[in-house]
Structure 1
């Protein structure tokens, strides 16, 4: 079937009445065919959207099944379980989208509330010409963060009782595998709240001078967490 060629619209002023009718009829037919094609494309687009949604649901289900299989394999191999921490929601907290129905509170301006918790004081001398009079001090509170690695040798007393039993002084609470409780708290905080991986934690600690392996970091995050759970519950209860 040969495609009928319509007259040029630019020459409509010179066309006869019959030619104008043919032009309008042809344009209407083209518009109808375009509408039919648009409807077909819309139906195909909706079908693809439905298939995409179904694939997303199937993908989520497969991820859940995969994680269940991983947990079962870890249980059969007696591997440590996953850390009992949920993501901190950092993405939602830092999102630019405001929470529906809630207005962002106005930022309060004024003096800081931690000026009464000064941990150190240092006098800064000034270079003045001879004959100047001392007029006191002008205080300025500066906040800073100091990360320092400590390697402490605990000399544990050893005693022998009259019955022949040996008593050795216990290590401070929270000590595990030659590492203190503050280091373990630091790892738990970065992993749970900062979403830092175990590999990055290991690299960070080695960079600042703590000789520790990735296996030990994993132990920090998975073993003997009852004390930290109790401490967390006590803090939550105290408000």
Structure 2
């Protein structure tokens, strides 16, 4: 199983969704958001040239941000929840090759979510597994610039243009 990290975009989205009613709450929320985005951009830059010393600095900045006391109780509680998941958010500092956000993965499954909302989902575990397998192959072919239907036809023995196996296409990329 692959290594996963928490998505920074989703973390900030929770802060963005907080309802602030007073000017001090709005300022605390805006300050927290700006610090998170600043750190997020610095982490993305660090991934291009990772060093252990800089990773420690970025981790300390994360700790300062999520350790802030803002006097905005809802925001302080959310920061405490984020702080409890520190290791997952900072996994990027150990593995700069993993994505810092999950937007690509979310876009890949968007069609499944839309279909599920319309049709109510599949009726069985086998149906879900079949749908997930076909969608995965379709998305992979699309990303590799190969025709899904040609790929499927080739694998089922239907005469068409010869398509290389997906592992070969991936390796060539």
TM-score tier by shorter-chain length is under 0.3
TM-score, normalised to structure 1, is 0.19
With the length of structure 2 as denominator, give the TM-score of the two structures.
Answer: 0.24
Q: Rg: which structure is higher?
A: 1
Question: Which has the higher relative contact order, 1 or 2, with Cα contacts under 8 A spaced 6 or more apart?
Answer: 2
Question: Which structure's residues are more often helix, by fraction?
Answer: 2
